[in-house]
Amino acid sequence: MKQWLMLALCAIAMSCQHSAGTGQARSRAAAPSQGQAAPLHMALDQPYHTRTLGPRDVVVLFDTYTIIAPLGTISENEQFWGKIDEDHVDVTNHDLMLKNGIRYGIGSDDNWDFYKKIFDKQGATSQKGSVDPHPSAVTSLPLRTGIDYQDLFYLNEQGVLHGRTYQHCDDLFTLAFESIPDRPEMTRVRLGAIVHDLRYQFVVTVENHAEEITRQQLDHLYDLKLEAEVPNNHFLIVAPSGQTTLPYNLGGSFLTQPGPSQQMETILILKPRPMWDPRSAQPAAPPKGK
């Protein structure tokens, strides 16, 4: 069974490599890295704790909605996705993420009643979170916790399939966002995927000819290069793609889960709300009579 599965995964990788070559002509933007181990830090330009606020600086109040629905009822609902903009993102990366089981695009607040009717019809449940206003920030979005064992495969931009086995871990996304100073109506949003190892490991470091043994929990980062500039009164939506049916797919592992009677899927709605920072200096009002 394992041998058959590896042959199937190799065939999938070769097929995806051919189609990825076609998609590269549609965009010149950078494609994702290989999804191997990388530093957890997802730095933004001038992060909040070191950034000096200027006159009329823009901060972002960020809302997150985690929506749980029966598998396929939202992610494969073409009526729903017909009102989601999947073109004004990095098209090459979008194609690659589809193959890795992740679909994303930009939705408009003007269509929210339409989206909500579909969520309600499918019996979806939701949970809201918020990040306090900052010019930029990084936070985490837990998706699956307390996983005893999982195999995970990731297809990189060269069409190479990387696989790894994890034990006793959590799956989560890192969410990074920042205001764009010269375009206050836009917010840049980035997502990465992390497998967080729940086990402590002994790490030996040598400093000044002395050895120090510490216990650390290690993380494995998949740098998805999933990035979008979200206009005001819009949101970024992330969902499983049709490729989640492939064995040990990244999107399937992170964005699907068993339910009481059927498989369920996780939909993320990431909603930036840019605003003027009340702490920053405001332009002086003109003298009366002038």
DSSP string covering 21-46, please? HHHGGG--SPPP----S--S----SS
In a domain, 40, yes or no: no
Using the predicted structure, report yes or no on whether residue 14 has a pLDDT greater than 60.
Answer: no
Do you know the residue count of the chain? 290
- Predicted confidence at residue 11, as pLDDT, reads 38
pTM for the model stands at: 0.74
pLDDT band at 201 (very low <50, low <70, confident <90, very high): low
pLDDT (average), residues 195-220: 72
The residue segments making up the domain with residue 93 are 2-25+57-276
Residue 239 in any domain: the answer is: yes
What pLDDT score was predicted for residue 81?
Answer: 97
Rounded Cα distance between 250 and 115, Å, is: 26
Look at the block and give the residue holding tokens 């992330």.
238
Q: What Rg value do the Cα atoms of the chain yield, rounded?
A: 21
| pLDDT tens track for 79-116 | 999 999 999 899 999 999 999 999 999 999 999 999 99
Domain contains 256 = yes
Q: Are 224 and 195 in contact (CB under 8 A)?
A: no
Q: Quickly count: other Cβ atoms within 10 Å of residue 274's Cβ.
A: 23
Binned at pLDDT 50, 70 and 90, residue 239 comes out as very high
In a domain, 32, yes or no: no
| Mean pLDDT calculated for residue range 66-86 | 95
DSSP-derived letter for residue 237 is E
- Provide the 3-class DSSP secondary structure of residue 69: strand
Work out whether strand 125-134 and strand 102-108 pair parallel, antiparallel, or are unpaired.
unpaired
Residue 37 lies in a domain: no
What does the pLDDT read at residue 55?
56
Q: Is residue 16 over pLDDT 70?
A: no
When mean pLDDT is compared across 59-73, 176-190, 213-227, 270-284, the lowest value belongs to: 270-284
Q: What percent of the chain has pLDDT over 70?
A: 69
Mean pLDDT of 220-245: 91
Per the listing, tokens 């592992």 go with: 253
Q: Give the mean pLDDT of 208-227.
A: 77
- Per DSSP, the residues of 155-208 read E-TTS-EEEEEEEEEEEEEEEEEEE-TT-TTEEEEEEEEEEEEEEEEEEEEEET
Give the model's pLDDT for residue 7: 38
- 281 lies in a domain? no
Q: Output the six-digit token pair for 34.
A: 């290989």
Q: Domain total for the chain? A: 1
Structural domain includes residue 34: no
User: Between 176 and 50, where is the model more confident?
Assistant: 176
Q: Flag whether 45 is in a domain.
A: no
Q: Is the Cβ–Cβ distance between 23 and 92 less than 8 Å?
A: yes
Q: Phi and psi at residue 285, in whole multiples of 5°?
A: -70, 140
Least confidently predicted of 60-64, 76-80, 125-129, 194-198: 194-198
CB atoms within 10 A of CB 284: 6
